[in-house]
Amino acid sequence: MPQLSLYMDEPMMEGLRQDAAREGKTLSKFVAGVLRDRDTNGLWPHGFFDLYGVCDDDTFVEPPEIPWEFDAPRKTL
């Protein structure tokens, strides 16, 4: 299995240890998960996709399409 060595200051390392312990994971598994999430989520914040469908409000609907004639005039390039 490939390995990765990282150099960081002690406060950052301690934070990683605490986060791993809080999730009940080894430090290695925790960091691998952080890197995996970063790779699969791209630029979306952690947990972003977990929010889909949690809003229980019937008034929260998609607005109607705006007619094209209301579009602003644009200069042709």
Report the alpha-carbon distance of residue 8 to residue 31 in Å, rounded.
13
pLDDT, block means (10 residues), the chain with 77 residues: 88 95 95 79 73 84 89 88
Helix H segments across the chain? 10-22, 27-41
